[in-house]
Amino acid sequence: MRSRFLLAGACASLAGLALPSSGPGVAFARTLDRRGAIRAALVQNPQVAAARAEEAAAQAQLRQVDAARAPMLTLDGGVGPSLVASLVPGTATQSIQDQYRNFRWSDLSAVFVGELRVIQPLYTFGKIALRGEAASHGLRARQAQTRMQRADVAFEVAQLYESCLYARDVERFLNEIDHWLDSTLQATQTKLVEGAGSVTDRDVLRLQSARALAAMGLNQARAGLAQARGGLAAYLGIPADEPLTFAEEDLVPVGRVPQTFAELGRLALGNRPEVVALREGQGALSALGRAEAAGLWPNLFLMAFVSAAYTPGRDWIQSRFVLDPLNHFAPGALLGFRWELQGNMAASRAAEQQAHADALARLGDWAGAGIPAQVRQAYEDVQRTEKDIAEGHQAIGQAKRWMVESSADYGVGLLDVREVSDAVQAYVTLRVGIFKARFDHNVAMAALSRATGTLDGDAEIFYLDRTPTEETTP
């Protein structure tokens, strides 16, 4: 979600988010500042929480690989019906009764059966180790993706916060202009009624039109402020009807302006979570491909087992050659291997994972070119807005002097109202343009922090630098 505020004519045309505006107020207003808003959003925002949950899933996958190295235990047990059987005295090979001839219900007993197997993997030709390597890379990739989500949320909150300050300051200014225009309009109407000077109906119409334009700007500013506040409430997880106030008295440029572009490029390539996510994701898929290729080889294991069954009323067979499945105790151990092959399935799965790894490698190449471009865009926006603000201040002073002098001359009848309206239009346009330049500057600073990978954590440089840009507020 983003809010965009554009200047139209002499008014602020504020296009905000399509979010619910604040409802009825409550007793106390919450006071926010830039750092507090971003930190609060990063703590509780559901998007960040979802990214952390995906990170927890990656940690669980790594633990699953560790568990694959441990012995695997299988225990089977059961109870069911069985025939009683007694051995012929003096022999261990013949029974007194046939198995089912002359069957009687009293010949039935219960059999208790159990089997325990313990299988310890010895050597899997890298199947487990390579999957462990893939899981480790995957976890680091997920951690980087969490940082990416944090940066996205922080940037959105920064835009909304600066939008609130921008809309608030424009609303204040246009209220002042509206009061001044109202006073001038009343004085002009009085002169027209009294026939003083050269006042005409057109002069009244010109001032009424200016007031209408100011009213339109006020409506847009108020709507934009309500929408941006609604967006902040959504990101911060606070009630939509809770009023918000802002610690900053005015919208002023913030952050430390970088001196050179080269240092920014190096900082971005070393800090951007996208670079880490692509690199670790490629490593994970490459390791997974090698693990799939290892499926061409068998798994060696050591197995120990115990099989037991007990039937009351059934004699034990004392023979090493015959095992009674319903009355016995048989331990054992063996060294074995398991080999599963299905055509070229293993090679095909390996090729699939390697193709995914190659795709991430190509995206990494694109990131190497795209990230400096993002840094360049934010850097140039910062430099441009710095110049706009500096040049705008000088022009505002001149326009304000023009407006004051023309208003004074109009008051004594030396000028007509057109000179006054032209001066007011120039002053309002420049003043609102300065508000817009400050807003663009701060958003560009946030974009620069995001582009260099420093917005998602505790780094206090660029947008969150504690030293605001020096400026004299007109």
> What pLDDT, in 10s, does the model give residues 102-117?
667 777 888 999 999 9
Q: Please report which residue ranges of 344-473 form alpha helices under DSSP H.
A: 345-411, 417-451
Distance CA 352, CA 355 (A): 5
For the segment 348-370, the average pLDDT, to the nearest whole number, is 88
Kindly tell me the burial class for residue 238, based on how many C-beta atoms sit within 10 Å of its own C-beta (0-12, 13-18, 19 or more): middle
| pTM value surpassing 0.95 | no
The closest alpha carbon to 451, from 439, 462, 467, belongs to: 462
Residue 367 CB coordination number (10 Å): 19
Return the residue matching tokens 């954590």.
Answer: 457
Q: How far lies 343's CA from each of 191, 337, 346, 347, 349, in Å? A: 100, 19, 8, 9, 12
For the segment 155-174, the average pLDDT, to the nearest whole number, is 94
For the segment 431-448, the average pLDDT, to the nearest whole number, is 94
CA atoms within 13 A on the CB side of 187: 15
Please report, as a single letter, which amino acid is at residue 309. Answer: A
pLDDT over 70 at 24, yes or no? no
Q: How far lies 447's CA from each of 152, 369, 452, in Å? A: 10, 17, 9
Sheet holding 328-338, edge to edge: 72-83, 108-123, 299-310, 328-338
Residues in the chain, overall count: 474
CA atoms within 13 A on the CB side of 109: 16
How confident is the model over 146-164, as pLDDT tens digits? Answer: 999 999 999 999 999 999 9
Q: Determine if residue 9 is left, alpha or beta; phi over 0 gives left, psi from -120 to 50 gives alpha, anything else beta.
A: left
Distance CA 375, CA 88 (A): 94
Using alpha carbons only, what angle is made at residue 372 by residues 366 and 376, rounded to the nearest 5 degrees? 140
Question: Residue 9 — pLDDT band, cuts 50, 70, 90?
Answer: very low
Beta bridge partners of 87: 95
